[in-house]
Copies of this chain bind each other. A is one copy, B any other.
Amino acid sequence: MPMTDKRERLIYTAADLFHRQGYHRTTFADVAEASGVPMGNIYYYYKTKGDLAAAVIDQREAEYVKLRAAWEGALEPRARLRSWLDTIIGGCDGLVAHGCPFGGLSHELDKEGGPLADKADATTTRLIEWSAKQFRQMGLKDPHALGVEFVARMQGVILVAGIMRDAGEFRRQMDRVRAWLDSL
């Protein structure tokens, strides 16, 4: 049963293409070529483009679960949030070049509506709630608003630095977010 291998190859290829080209610009033919899996065979694993997108979202959700577990290795909630920030900063190049892989997909799917959009949104919501929890553990007032602010700031920096195509500005702005975090 080496199908797992192929399934994963398809998911990772699709995730990468969705990130770089966007969901709508990416065709099954693109996925076929990039993954080396013939188009006819892709369909054996994922009956529709939506199914493939759902699998990509699931994969990312699983990835975030793992990441959150890693960030929770830090004892202090503030340090956990800093870990997240560091993870983001580590992905600087890809983020500046193509935007947030998840935010972008989410935004695109939102314009379609439907269950896929909800699924993507739920993943983002979980991330916001996780950061709100950290702020709550820090004993701060209005932790939910702080959580939203934290995520919004990171997303905003990714978007604007992407438009400016300026990795230096990206880092500078993320440092500002870190300074804000440390000042709370």
Is A124 close to B, CB under 8 A? yes
Given contacts A24-B22, A24-B25, A145-B173, contact A159 B155 (CB under 8 A): yes
Q: Are A160 and B111 in contact (CB under 8 A)?
A: no
A108 interface residue (CB < 8 Å to B): yes
**Stoichiometry, copies per complex:** 2
Residues of chain A at interface, number, CB under 8 A = 40
A106 in contact (CB, < 8 A): yes
With A107-B99, A173-B145 known as contacts, the answer to whether A157 contacts B159 (CB < 8 A) is no
The stretch that binds B, out of A8-16, A32-40, A61-69, A162-170, is A162-170
**Secondary structure of the A side of the interface?**
helix
In the bound complex, CA of A103 to CA of B163 (Å): 9
Q: Please list the residues of chain A having a beta carbon within 8 angstroms of any beta carbon in chain B.
A: 20-22, 24-25, 98-99, 103-104, 106-108, 110-112, 121, 124-125, 128, 145, 148-149, 151-157, 159-165, 169, 172-173, 176
